[in-house]
Structures are given as structure tokens and as C-alpha cells.
Amino acid sequence: MITIMTVSELTKAVKDAKNKNLTIGLVPTMGYLHEGHASLIRQSAVDNGLTVVSCFVNPTQFAPGEDFESYPRDFTRDRKVAEKAGATVLFAPDVSEMYPENYNTFVLACGVSEVLEGLARPTHFRGVTTVLAKLFNLSRADRAYFGQKDAQQVSVVEQMVRDLNFNTAIIRMPIVREDSGLAKSSRNQYLSDTELQEATVLKKSLDLAHDLIRSGEIAAGKIKAAMTEFITQTAENARIDRIDIVDNTTLADVETITSTVLIPVAVYIGKTRLIDNIVVPV
């Protein structure tokens, strides 16, 4: 694996790979790599001749007051995880490399980015799509790999790729979880031992929703009420931010469940905001 810090170096590595007729896989990350990221890298290494892992904490997707400065960073660990999983290029640019002086162009996927997480973080997805558009162009990726944990993000990226005719296939990979059921996340390291136990309430509430739907409940309001009651009674340090039941394709709110739904949740455990989701086919 080689580590690249500049756009010019990445451009050269990609050109060399294309000259050899290698397919290119991209795994975009903000670093602090864990098993969830490693699963994406491994799949890309199987599918492609060259796997580029970007390691870049993207400032444009953080709003003022969010945790950009304190976001966990451990580049030495990132290099080890990426190489062990099969990455061939680790791209780790400085902010000035991705957003040079006088940078003033942004990409916005309307509609799908303005619901759910987009309501709470109205500038977030603009930053996500902008940096990914840049990474897709720089890497010339044939395939890009994303985890289902950030389900809305994947839908936003799929729309951008479709609407702007990027020649990159978006590969959606399953959520990787701890033995406890907690979705692996860089933000889990903020949690105390007690909070780690309480954080399992997210997955358990989603399992409850799944069981209710499979048993015949179709009223979204009743399911959300049951999830709310379960979370508040189970985890003392939990504070619900969002529970939604939406169409799995359009992300539009659903009142009566008649087709496959996505159920995303966002819950504060102590001061840490965690997200999780489940897709329930009907």
C-alpha cells in the first residue's frame, strides 16, 4: 500500500492503473477506521485491481458547534487497518489540498437530502456530496463502497451519481455490528462502559419495530410509539432525537405500511448522537 497526500500524486496513480486496464474501487472515509470500514475495503479489494481508501475529515459537512475539531483521528492506526484489509492506495490530503484558497463550488442533491438527517443538519449533505464528487473525479472510481448504517447518505449519493452521470457504481454494504448489536461507529469511542451497554437500545428498538411489522402492524404511528416507550424505559441516558418510518426508495414519510420501509433512528446516549436503521421488506 502506498500513502498519497496530494491530488497530483493521486492523479498519477489513477492514470497508471487505468493504463494497465485495472478497475478502481473507492472507499471514502473520515478516518478512525474500524471493522465496518475494513469490510468495505476487503470487498473492494476482491472486486477491483486498485483500491483507493480516502482518509479525510471533511470540514464542509460539519456545522458550527459540531464535533469537527474533536472528531477522532488516529492516522497510524488507519494505515494499519487499511493495509491489512487490502487497500493499495491510502489518500490522506490536508484540508487545503481538497479546498484550496478561493474554493467556492458545491454540489447539492435536492429532495432526498432535505428530509430526515437533512432537517437536523441542513448543510451536512451539501458537504458530503461536494467532497464525494471531488473524490469520484479524482479517483475515476468504477465502484464506490458505502455502509448501510448511513442509509440516507447512500441514497443521496445514488441520486447524485444518477443525476450527474458519474460513471461510478455505488455498492451498498451491510451494517457491521459489535457482538452486542451496536453498529460500529467512530463515535462509539466517546461512550463510557455504561453508555456502551445502553447504546444497544437502538438496535433492540429496531428489532422491536421489525417484529411488530412482521406480525401485521401497519400503523407507523403505533410502531414509533412502541419504540419510543421501549427506548425511554430501557436506557436511562438515552434521549431520542428522531424515529422515522419512510419509504425505502423515496425516503418519504409513511403513515400506513404497505411496502418496504426504512426505519432510521437517531438517539443521544449521554452527549453522543448515534444513528442506526433497519430495512423491513413488506
Over residues 76-116, the pLDDT tens digits come to: 999 999 999 999 999 999 999 999 999 999 999 999 999 99
Question: Domains, the chain, ranges and CATH?
Answer: 2-173 (3.40.50.620), 186-276 (3.30.1300.10)
Residue 169 has pLDDT above 90, yes or no: yes
| Helix count and strand count (H, E) for the chain | 10, 10
CA distances from 199 to 11, 65, 189, 206, 267 (A): 42, 23, 12, 12, 9
**Mean pLDDT across 267-275:** 96
> Residue 52: is it exposed, middle or buried by C-beta count within 10 angstroms (0-12/13-18/19+)?
buried
Dist CA 93 CA 65 (whole Å): 24
Amino acid type, 165: N
124 carries an active-site annotation: no
Of residues 165 and 282, more confidently modeled: 165
Dist CA 277 CA 128 (whole Å): 19
pLDDT number for residue 275:
96
The residue assigned the cell 463510557 is: 192
Dist CA 121 CA 196 (whole Å): 25
Residue 120 has pLDDT above 90, yes or no: no
Task: Give 238-254 pLDDT, tens digit per residue.
Answer: 999 999 999 999 999 99
Dist CA 261 CA 253 (whole Å): 9
Residue 228 has pLDDT above 90, yes or no: yes
- Model confidence at 131, pLDDT cuts 50, 70, 90, reads very high
> Residue 193: is it exposed, middle or buried by C-beta count within 10 angstroms (0-12/13-18/19+)?
exposed
Share of the chain above pLDDT 90, in %: 98
Residue 25 has pLDDT above 90, yes or no: yes
pLDDT number for residue 44:
98
Share of the chain above pLDDT 70, in %: 100
Residue 282 has pLDDT above 90, yes or no: no
Q: What is the pTM of this model?
A: 0.94
Q: Are 24 and 138 in contact (CB under 8 A)?
A: no
Catalytic residue among 34, 37, 124, 210: 37
Half-sphere exposure for 49 (CA within 13 Å, toward CB): 10
Dist CA 124 CA 15 (whole Å): 31
